[in-house]
Amino acid sequence: MLKTTLLALSIFFALAVAAQAQEVEAQDSRPSMHRGRDDIGKPAEEIIARAEIRHEEETHKEMVERAGEAAQIGDEILNDYKKNNALNGDDLKKLERLDKLAHKIRGNAGASEDVELEDPPSRLEDAVKRIADASDLLNKSVQKTSRLVISAAVINHSNELIELIKHVRNIQHP
């Protein structure tokens, strides 16, 4: 009888170990992205999701502000050029700021590669006008785009602006 009881306990123990191993294996087979989130619970997930949304909204708001500033700088450079028929030191500083803004906007839009400028203007006056136009188009594109969309127009306008600024630098200092 003792042998039978020990045999029954051994079988019971072996089945319990096998069941536990199957449960662990089933948990490990779940997709890894869900494993960590299941442990933290619903309120924490909601807090994380709200924080991500808030961060995206702030990032988009900053991008809209940058685009507005870029359009303003483009207009200022064009007006200064019309008055002086040349670009002065302040205008070159504005070009630097405009370049940084365009790079940040392009980066936030999801792009990072420079592209070649199609049909580059041969005269400085034409290049400055195109900078003003491109910065205005960039601003309008960013204004129309929600935080949930990656806009090809925003990327194209920022790329054009960046390349125009490079072109103006080359015209100024060949």
Question: Concatenated DSSP letters for 74-127?
Answer: HHHHHHHHHHHSS--HHHHHHHHHHHHHHHHHHHHHT-----PPSS--SSHHHH
Stated pTM of the model: 0.69
Digitized pLDDT (tens) for each residue of the chain, 174 residues in all: 666 665 566 676 666 666 666 665 555 544 544 444 555 668 888 899 899 989 988 988 999 999 999 999 999 999 999 999 999 999 999 999 999 999 999 998 888 788 888 888 989 999 999 999 999 999 999 998 887 777 888 999 999 999 999 999 888 765
Residue 120 φ/ψ, nearest 5 degrees: -65, 140
Residue 157 to residue 142: CA distance in whole angstroms: 10
Q: How many CB atoms lie within 10 A of CB 43?
A: 8
- Kindly give, in sequence order, each residue whose CB lies less than 8 Å from that of residue 174, ignoring residues fewer than 6 positions away: none
pLDDT given for residue 1 in this prediction: 65
Tokens found for residue 42:
């619903």
**Local structure of residue 30 (DSSP, 8 states):** S
- Judge contact between 162 and 96, C-beta under 8 A: no
- Sign, CA torsion 73/74/79/82: positive
Residue 42 to residue 20: CA distance in whole angstroms: 26
pLDDT given for residue 43 in this prediction: 86
pLDDT one-digit tens code per residue, 52-73: 989 988 988 999 999 999 999 9
